Amino acid sequence: MKTFKLRSLQLLESQEEQIEQHTIDLLDGLIINREDDQLRWVIEAYVSHDYFSFLNALYEDQNEIIIRAKITKKSNEPATFITKITGINEIGNNMNVLFIGTLVDRRMTEVETLLSVLSEEGYKGKALLSAFKKRI
């Protein structure tokens, strides 16, 4: 396994006909390449408890979530992952959120273009994610 510093985190969500980006302000975070046979990554975000309602709703839905994460340096291009939230732990006034998912092996501009096209084609919610996964 290889562990890296998580520098920034955005969640991409389909809202009607647009893709909405939710920037999550990190207090700290790690990203771990598990190097397992499923090529999964674990993303741990330590954030303010202010995000609890939003992230807990995503956790309870158990839907896949597309996230963008900057790793090691803020100047790096963000990597895109298809994930699920596997746990939320309250820690005083803060909390950690655990995601597990796979890296989308494409440049971000290609991913954004594909999401835009799918959105214009009328895909939403689970159908958007399904169409996205089929086309990548």
Give me 126's structure tokens: 């689970």
Q: Give per-residue pLDDT as tens, 24-81.
A: 999 999 999 988 888 899 999 999 999 999 999 999 988 888 899 999 988 888 888 9
| pLDDT for 111 beyond 80 | no
Indicate the pLDDT class of residue 116, thresholds 50, 70 and 90.
confident
Q: Which residue has the higher pLDDT, 33 or 114?
A: 33
Highest mean pLDDT among 34-43, 78-87, 127-136: 78-87
Distances (CA, A) of 87 to 44, 45, 46, 62, 94: 10, 11, 12, 11, 14
Ordered by where they begin, the domains of the chain are 2-135 (2.30.110)
- Pick the more confident residue, 60 or 130: 60
Measured distance CA(130)–CA(37) in Å, rounded:
22
Q: How confident is the model at residue 126 (pLDDT cuts 50, 70, 90)?
A: confident
Percent of the chain with pLDDT over 90: 49
The reported pTM is 0.76
- Mean local confidence (pLDDT), 110-116: 75
Asked if pLDDT for residue 16 goes beyond 70, the answer is no
**With 90 as the cut, is the pLDDT of residue 108 above it?**
no
Q: Hey, what's the torsion of the CAs at 106, 111, 114, 116, to 10 degrees?
A: -170
